[in-house]
Amino acid sequence: MSVMESEQSLQLQIRECLTGMGIFSPVDWDVLVFVYRHRASLANAEQIARMVGYPATMVRDSLKNLASLKLLRRSRASHGVNLYQFTSSGLDSPCYDYFRELLASVDNRAGRLEIIRELRKEAKKGSKWLKAG
Amino acid sequence: MAEGGLIRTGIAGLDAIFLGGIPRANMILVQGSAGAGKSLLGMEFIYRGITDFNENGVIVVFETSPDKVVRDAAEFGWNFGELERQDKLRIVFTSPQVLEAQLRSPDSLLLEVAAEIGARRIFIDGIGLLRTAPANGNDGPNEPDSYRELLQQVLEALQRENLTTMFSHELGGRPESTARLEIATFLADTVIELGQDRHTRLAHRSVEIVKSRGQRYVAGRHTLQIVSGQGLEVFRRVQAPDLHPVDEPTSSIKSSVIGVPALDDLIGGGFFDGSTTMVVGISGVGKTVLAAQILLESARSGKRILLVSLDEHPAQIIRNAGTLGLDLKEQMDAGMIHIFYESPQELEIDAHFARIVRTIEKFGIQRLVIDGVTSYSTALEEQRMYRDFFHALVAYTKLHLMTTVFNYENPELFGISSYMPEFPVNSIVDNIILLSLVELGSSLHRSIAVVKARGCKHQFDTREFTIGPGGITLIPVDEKANLSALSMESYSSILSRAPTRVSPRRGNGEAVSYTPSR
């Protein structure tokens, strides 16, 4: 397989995984990875935002979106915080497989760049639709 | 206290210095500098609780990513991910402010998580990060008092939930950090201090119970090791007094230890079981050969024996003994002889002692040979440690009626001006055997003398011996006439480094002395 073919294959694989999970923005991806790596986070959107480096409003929206996608579980609020836990919808779900594949891809620089490129592309599409709407 | 009222940490060796465990309601503080092992101790406390005692647990972290906690745990074979999936463990990442608010709140999410999995233990890593809300934008002079109140509230909340709590606190250099630690130390029921002692370029970890309300414990600094693939291991301070004293047994049975009748005669018929013997001599005089003979004799008489060496690897000991026809290997294979070798580099004496005791107990060892004591003095920087080890070993072997032989390398080539190690042990050693090199004419001869044998009518003669097939052999007095050199009986002052020939008495009965030139 040539270098170009290999890159295309990676691109396709990443796109398939992201689409399969319903992730279309870099914020969603970074917040999801944060929640996954932190197992159970007892925090609010502002605290998570400080850690992942996005504005709090974007992180708040992202947390809502990920919860609606059932990729994370959000507890009731208590003293302004929630308990966020990665759910993966069961170990056998295709969603979890996609996530595992993506995590394996971000282990190397090429994979990381490809995920960012793909998500930015999707984010641009989204903003165009928003403008058109 | 009844054992039922104690919570066992499950950490190897730690419960033993707590004399079984920690009173269940106690709040446990683990303090120490960065890298001392606080987080690891907390993690293992939770892990052992789940796996060994069926007590689920929660770990709360502020600064470390829980992902790294899972990764680090895996290094020791602890599968935290699996325990989380089984709802036996939760690792919660939060901030100190959130924790404080949560623990004071009746609808606490954290306590809800703990209740959901039926947690009985909780570990909070870095309690010192708790901060009161600054009154004027910064911590005021009353801050430590507020911290006391805050910590008290947090601990109260955890106690209310019937959670056995362990929390770590870093030893800091800043005054406010020290003040906070003092408060935490005061409020906690049990305080465990982890240390990292520097000895020139080496670092040794230690653990000390600073306080533990409602129980007795073994005081002092014990050795702490991080054991790959296992976790933490605490080794009791060697000289720590036994808190359960027992009567020391005594035996009146005398046994041959070397297996050479002539040597037994010299000693006075053998050693008492449970006696301690020091064999003193210069390098090369035959101490290790004598040790090999003692090993074989022990095996032959059906008593399992252990040789401890810091100098020679087992393969080398077996080879060297083999050249004299002393087959150690066969008896090792039969389980009668055991050799324990540990490198003197970076020797941690508490751990070394514990390993010797473990070997003795595992294999039912009845006799012990330490070859040799001198290597400990070079391996250990502090003479106090060296002495503690020696005394502890003698105390242990006496308590178990083990016949023990210590080889001590005396640095003096000819004669011996002092036959004790750098510290006096005469009082605890029952028998002393001196092996010496003696220069007679132009040749070197080996001599043996028994200078002390408690309770035995030993001979006070200095006898010549040779090393050959079978090991050490005493030269019979009647064979000396056949030797080319004059027999030892022809000299006086051999041990005092000045052998003086005593000539046959002249006809007038007057003796003539002759000192050979060196």
B213-265 tens-digit pLDDT: 999 999 999 999 999 999 999 999 987 766 666 677 787 777 778 888 888 88
Q: Do residues B416 and B410 make contact, with C-beta atoms less than 8 angstroms apart?
A: yes
Please provide residue B139's backbone torsions phi and psi, each rounded to the nearest 5 degrees. -70, 125
**What are the angstrom distances between the C-alpha of B397 and each of B13, B424, B455?**
21, 19, 18
The CATH fold of domain A3-132: Arc Repressor Mutant, subunit A (1.10.10)
**What are the angstrom distances between the C-alpha of B138 and each of B52, B131, B132, B133, B365?**
45, 10, 10, 9, 65
pLDDT of chain B along its 518 residues, tens only? Answer: 434 589 999 999 999 999 999 998 899 999 999 889 999 999 999 999 999 999 999 999 998 889 999 999 999 999 999 999 999 999 999 998 898 888 878 788 999 999 999 999 999 998 888 776 554 444 444 455 688 888 888 888 888 888 999 999 988 767 777 888 888 899 999 999 999 987 777 788 999 999 999 999 999 999 999 999 999 999 999 877 666 666 777 877 777 788 888 888 888 888 888 999 999 998 889 999 999 999 999 999 999 999 999 989 999 999 999 999 999 999 999 999 999 999 988 889 999 999 999 999 999 999 999 998 888 888 887 788 888 898 899 989 998 999 999 999 887 666 666 666 666 666 778 999 999 888 777 778 899 999 888 888 888 888 899 999 999 999 887 655 555 556 777 777 766 656 677 766 554 545 445 444 44
Question: Which CATH number is B3-235's, of 3.40.50.880, 2.10.240.10, 3.40.50.2020, 3.40.50.300?
Answer: 3.40.50.300
Nearest residue to B14 (alpha-carbon basis) of B236, B329, B206 = B236
Q: Do residues B324 and B467 make contact, with C-beta atoms less than 8 angstroms apart?
A: yes
Residues 96-155 of B with CB under 8 A from A: 98-99, 101-102, 105, 107-110, 112-113
Q: What is the rounded average pLDDT of the residues A28-41?
A: 91
Number of Cβ atoms within 10 Å of the Cβ of A113: 11
**Which residues of chain A make contact with B108, given a CB cutoff of 8 A?**
78
Beta strands in B156-296 (DSSP E): 164-170, 190-199, 202-212, 221-227, 231-235, 254-255, 271-272, 276-281
Contact residues of A toward B, CB < 8 A: 36-43, 47, 75-76, 78-79, 81-83, 91
**Which residues of chain B make contact with A39, given a CB cutoff of 8 A?**
66-67, 70, 84, 90-93
Omega before residue B364 within 30° of 0, cis: no
Among the partner residues B93, B101, B107, nearest to A40 by beta-carbon distance? B93
Helix (H, G, I), strand (E, B) or coil at B171: coil
**Which residues of chain A make contact with B74, given a CB cutoff of 8 A?**
none
**Which residues of chain B does CATH 3.40.50.300 include?**
3-235, 254-502
For the domain spanning B254-502, the CATH number is 3.40.50.300
Identity at B52, one-letter amino acid code: D
Cross-chain Cβ contact A39/B90 below 8 Å: yes
Residues in CB range of A59: below 8 A, 6 or more apart? A27, A31, A45, A46, A48, A49, A52
Question: What tokens does A76 get?
Answer: 């009731």
The pLDDT-based confidence of A91 (bands split at 50, 70, 90) is low
Number of Cβ atoms within 10 Å of the Cβ of B136: 6
d(CA B31, CA B482): 74
End-to-end alpha carbon distance in chain B: 71
Angstroms from B65 CA to nearest CA on chain A: 6
Scanning every residue of chain B, which has its alpha carbon at the shortest distance from the alpha carbon of A41? Answer: B93
Question: Which residue(s) pair with B474 in the sheet?
Answer: B465
Identity at B427, one-letter amino acid code: S
Q: Which of B59, B90, B93 to mutate to test the interface with A (most CBs of A within 10 A)?
A: B93
